[in-house]
Chain A
Amino acid sequence: MTNSPDIGRVATSLMVARPRELLRELREGTDRVKALKAIKNQVIGSKFKKNAFVSEGAVEAVLEVLRDATSSANPSEDKMEVVQQQAAIVIGSLSLSDVGLRRLISNEGLPFLLTMLHSADEAVVEAALWAVKMVVQQSTCVPSYFTRPPAREAGSPLPESPAAAAAAATPGPTVAAAGPLSVTPVRLDATAMSAIVRCLAVAGSSAAHTGSGSGMLAAVPRSGRTAAIVALAAALVACCCRRTEERNLAIAAGAPEKMLRLLLGSDRADTQVAALEGLSLMLPYQPSACALALSCPEIYGRLFTLLRDPTPSVRLLAASCAATLCRMPGCEQTEAMQRAALPVLLRLLTQPATRPHVPAVLASLVEASEALQKAAADADAVRLLAGLLAAEAVAAEAETTTARTTGQAVAAPDAAAVSSGVTPYLATCAAADGGVSSSLREGCLRALGSLCLNHDESRKQLLEAKVLRHIVKALEDPSNGVRAAAALCVRALTRCVRTLRGGLLEGGGGELAQLLVDMLTDQELEVQTNAAAAVCNLVLDFSAVKSAVLSAGGLTRLVELTRSPATPLRHHATWALANMLYRADNSVRVQLMEALPWSRLRQLLFDSDPRVVEQALVILRNLCMAGRQQVAAALEWAESDRSGGGGECGGSGGGFASVTGLCTTPAPAHGHGPPDQQPLPATGDKETRYDGILDVLQARIQAAAAAMSVTDVESESAASTPGVSHSPHSEGAASPPSASASAPALAAAAATTAGIFRVTRPEQYLQTVAHATHALYAVANLLTGGATVKDLVASRRPLLAAVAALLYPRAGELALPAVWCAVNLTWPAGGGSGGGGGGGVDRLNRLEQEAVATRCNALLDVRGEERLEELSRQHPSRDVQERARTALEQLRSGAGLAVRTSDTSSPAAVMTALTAQGL
């Protein structure tokens, strides 16, 4: 109709008179209740009238009445409570217009409402609660949860044209004055929140049962004013929980327990649903409330029932609570709840009304369970989520364009932060759109990431869905959560080479590398962690990506991240560095040694987390690559850093101090303090320059060797050495870095405990084995270096003894790297076999042969021959047997003992060794 604007304009002129009259009546008249009621009946439901009254000073006038009513000098004859009740409702209604809300705040009206919450009159309490709820609703721009869904069809949430979006005219009155710019922030303080939370408990029943689960089923009145107050309070608390600060206040005020009681005890549907919503928002942040919930057996039945509720949004909230509780240790029906919640969520995902809020809940449900991830993937969840992600991205683009053309600001980042996390409420009002779409985006990405993390089929589906563009774009999203979730997707995708070839790496991978390096510099920890994991996966298989990551400065960045206090990030960063070195050419090794000083790696080698230690050992193993030059470079690197940290190394010669097992250097400092926290003493010992690396490796090998022997003796030694039965790592951390060999001490402690772990804590045992494997290979690699290194290794009797201890059929997998050590140690230098020591060899060759003999004898000293012989006969692996035979041959010929029996070998070996030393 073309004349409707005219009607509106005429109406405006007519409207002004009435509010003014009514307000005069309120100020001057005798019947204030009548005036208040008249105002109330005009403003309820009409945004237009609210604005008209507010602009005539209605908020101030009503507050004035309230002030009078509560003061002792009450001029009117009306009953104070009735005045308060009606005034509160008028204030609440007027607060639903943003102007009204602003007036209320600027006139400091909120405390009046909050004071009324303590009134003895239930009608006053109810009215005040309602008014506060309106204020909170309006200030969060989130419509009421229950009343909203049926009313929503009334006004379509999406404006039809850009012009319509620009106009302030948003549909229903509850979403009045929408738009991120017009939200008036109202902050409730702790006192206010505790007054509200107090209303959750029915008067008189709160003291009867506190804490114990059995009291949770106390009767909550079904009808009447009390029931209405409880229902209102529950809805208000749920509404407050949508904002972080108020949620924390509500938790502090004890809301979770009271809401739980309502969920289990109330049979009013609206109260239950409000309690459910509040709990779905609070439980993820309050493990103690989860524990309390799980202590009531009724919670399971109630959630199962609510999962079947006819209202989709209720099912969603129930699934959200179930997802949170499933992950708690005390949950008795984890599987049953997961199995019940998953199909519900998958169905909700197909329904437009609930769809935007499902992915976040789905993500949190499947995150913890691989079986669920598979089940969800089988139900076509990947395709659905990808479709949702794409649709959301398109809508967001359109919205941005719209906002730009109409001069509106795009949803502020903090608006998005407000509703990040699980936000199951079904508000689709324009103002919250930024938040909803951001939470939808995050939910989709997170769920997709979880689904793809362990399933190749899902990764394939995700690539087929052609949403890679949106995932990559989300890596630059202003919301931390969205970026983290997108990074999880990328990480999941990098787990499969095949999917990568057709997807992320299209076009060479250079762009991807830059992207990943950017992600490594992200401010959000989770993004960094996922990016490090992605780099870790990529550099293993794609040399192009590896060099691109290098040239984008990824190496330096990863080294920086190894300092992170967050263990997963440190672990992934270390791992990524280790993988960078895998099959890398020399330039990569050189670059890494430049970026990562030995002192830093040494800290990682003594990290509190064994997984970090393992990757640090892999770095060391990959650095000490076979080859004279490489080994020399690695040793040079360790030495140069040491001299930088602890002063010059002197050149004066000394004895083989380490032969005796005494370490001349202290164990490096633990933790993640600055490098070279502990200046190393300048021992002036020429050989100590290698001790840094060798000490570390020796300790790890000794730990494994001791674990083996202790396992053989079984529990005996565990009982005999109670003093050191801590975990090997904490022991290492606790031991003072005294010069008297803390590394062997660490090894001894580890040894004692590792044996116990083999039986009681197999994980720790496996860790010890893994550490030793890398250490053994590193030693084997070092033994391909120059004679100096070889001699140094050979001169370490404890190291050789530990290696020899692993030359043992029962050492299992460790026997192979150990045998490699033996092979390399006894390797005849210069290609000459040196069998009989013919007369045609020159002096240099003879010197070399003597050096070989020294090494071989050192091995004989630690019963290497018997060990190798036993190994060559009894190890289950043919490969090991073969190598053992090779080592044995080399050993015998190197030591010139080809025909000698092992019984007589020892004295001769010592003699040879002495001779060698003398030279």
Chain B
Amino acid sequence: MGRGEAGSKKNIPMDVWEQKLATVKVPKADLNKLIMNFLVTEGYVEAARMFEKESGTAPGVNLDAITDRMEVRRALQGGDVEAAMERVNDLDPEILESQPKLFFHLQQQRLIELIRAGNVESALDFAQQNLAPLAEENVEFLEELERTVALLAFEDSKSSPLGDLMDVAQRQKTASELNAAILQSQAQEKEPRLPLLLKLLLWAQAQLDERAMYPRINDVATAQLVPPTKAE
């Protein structure tokens, strides 16, 4: 901010700020719901069960369904894409049936795992059987397939220019995509509300920065209120 502007801003001292904060009543039940929402969406089943027991907050969803979702994620991150896909098909056949992009990414991940295992023959075989027909229908898939098959050309695929495909992050990416799809099919939010609230907090502070000096939260991890530095 410019020096000239500082004077025009309202200065809110710490005590006034805290007084104002004290007038805002947030029911405990709402806070609990927020926490439960986080645990459920992120898939912390055990923690959610414990929290339900202790706080009496209903999870709002079938916790067994979360277990399924977490198992899908675990299988995928462990490299067993096939098991993950079978699981998803058991959960809801519509997911992979209606989302060609997701389906392609899963098949691509299977191919990557085969290449990772060094099984060139079956990798090629798989690509021909399962990926080529998809790529024929969609140009975008064809490019991705070319990139993936190209991994076979390298002695050490991990250090190749296409090494990112071999990375754990690729598994994570696919797993997240699948997790979001499952959540959506169960008519649940794709991400927990808590991070959204934090984003909202940051946005609100940014808005306020232009108009006032006030006790600010600079570190969201500690949520410490930092008193405004004296103007002038």
Q: Which residues of A contact B (CB under 8 A)?
A: 1, 4-5, 7-8, 10-11, 14-15, 37, 40-41, 44-49, 89, 92-93, 96, 130, 134, 143-144, 147-148, 150-151, 153-155, 169-174, 222-224, 228, 231, 268-271
Contact = CB atoms under 8 A, between A and B. Distances in A.
A121 to B, nearest CB: 15
A44 B128 contact: no
Contacts of B85: 41
B98 A144 contact: yes
B126 to A, nearest CB: 10
Interface stretch (B45-53, B59-67, B191-199, B213-221): B59-67
Contacts of B65: 223-224
Contact of B133 (A48, A130, A154): A48
A154 B140 contact: yes
A271 B127 CA distance: 38
A46 B136 contact: no
A223 B94 CA distance: 17
B97 A96 contact: yes
A7 B96 contact: no
Closest 8 CB pairs of A and B: A48-B133, A147-B98, A45-B103, A7-B132, A154-B101, A270-B187, A45-B96, A11-B128
B99 A41 contact: no
B135 interface: yes
B127 A41 contact: no
Contact of B86 (A5, A15, A37, A150): A37
Contacts of A47: 133, 137
A827 to B, nearest CB: 85
Given A1-B146, A4-B132, A173 B100 contact: yes
A269 B187 contact: yes
B36 interface: no
A41 B85 CA distance: 8
B172 interface: no
B114 to A, nearest CB: 15
B165 interface: no
Given A11-B132, A41-B86, A44-B89, 15 more contacts: A4-B135, A4-B142, A7-B132, A7-B135, A8-B136, A41-B89, A44-B103, A46-B134, A96-B97, A144-B98, A147-B95, A150-B99, A154-B101, A172-B98, A172-B100
Given A222-B60, A223-B65, A269-B187, A44 B99 contact: no
Contacts of A14: 125, 128-129
Interface of B: 60-62, 65, 82, 85-86, 89, 92-103, 125, 127-130, 132-138, 140, 142, 145-146, 184-187
B167 to A, nearest CB: 24
Given A4-B142, A7-B127, A15-B129, A44 B100 contact: no
Nearest to A38: B86
B101 A4 contact: no
Nearest to B65: A223
Most buried by A among B65, B95, B99, B186: B99
B138 A151 contact: no
Nearest to A11: B128
B127 A169 contact: no
25 contacts: A7-B127, A7-B135, A8-B136, A10-B128, A40-B93, A41-B82, A44-B103, A46-B103, A49-B130, A49-B133, A92-B93, A96-B97, A130-B94, A134-B97, A143-B98, A147-B98, A147-B185, A154-B99, A154-B100, A170-B137, A222-B60, A223-B62, A224-B62, A228-B186, A269-B187
Nearest to B136: A8
Contacts of A231: 187
B146 A268 contact: no
Nearest to A168: B137
A171 B93 contact: no
Contacts of A130: 93-94
Contacts of B82: 41
Contacts of A41: 82, 85-86, 89
A144 B145 CA distance: 27
A664 B37 CA distance: 89
B85 to A, nearest CB: 6
B36 to A, nearest CB: 13
Contact of B136 (A134, A147, A169): A169
Interface of A is mostly: helix
A89 B95 CA distance: 13
B91 to A, nearest CB: 10
Contacts of B128: 7, 10-11, 14
Contacts of B129: 11, 14-15
A44 B97 contact: yes
A11 B133 contact: yes
B93 A93 contact: yes
B194 to A, nearest CB: 18
Contacts of A8: 132-133, 136
Nearest to B135: A4
Contacts of A4: 132, 135-136, 142, 145
A269 B125 CA distance: 42
A333 to B, nearest CB: 28
A143 B142 CA distance: 24
A151 B98 contact: yes
Contacts of A48: 133-134
B2 to A, nearest CB: 37
Nearest to B128: A11
A231 B128 CA distance: 37
Given A155-B137, A268-B187, A89 B93 contact: yes
Nearest to A231: B187
Contacts of A153: 101
A875 B3 CA distance: 82
Contacts of A228: 92, 186
Contacts of A270: 187
Contacts of A44: 89, 93, 96-97, 103
B67 to A, nearest CB: 13
A96 to B, nearest CB: 7
Contacts of B61: 222-223
A231 B186 CA distance: 10
A680 to B, nearest CB: 73
Nearest to A7: B132
Contacts of A172: 98, 100
Contact of A271 (B133, B135, B187): B187
A125 to B, nearest CB: 15
Most buried by B among A10, A40, A172: A172
A603 to B, nearest CB: 61
A14 B130 CA distance: 11
B183 to A, nearest CB: 11
A265 to B, nearest CB: 14
Contacts of A7: 127-128, 132, 135
B164 to A, nearest CB: 20
Nearest to A40: B89
B89 A155 contact: no
Nearest to A48: B133
A144 B186 CA distance: 15
A46 B135 contact: no
Contacts of A223: 60-62, 65, 186
A172 B132 CA distance: 15
A4 to B, nearest CB: 6
A47 B96 CA distance: 12
B97 A173 contact: yes
Nearest to A43: B97
A173 B93 CA distance: 13
Nearest to A13: B128
A755 B138 CA distance: 77
Nearest to A137: B98
A224 B62 CA distance: 6
B83 to A, nearest CB: 10
A45 B100 contact: yes
Contacts of B127: 7
A155 B100 contact: yes
Contacts of B89: 40-41, 44, 89
Contacts of B136: 4-5, 8, 169
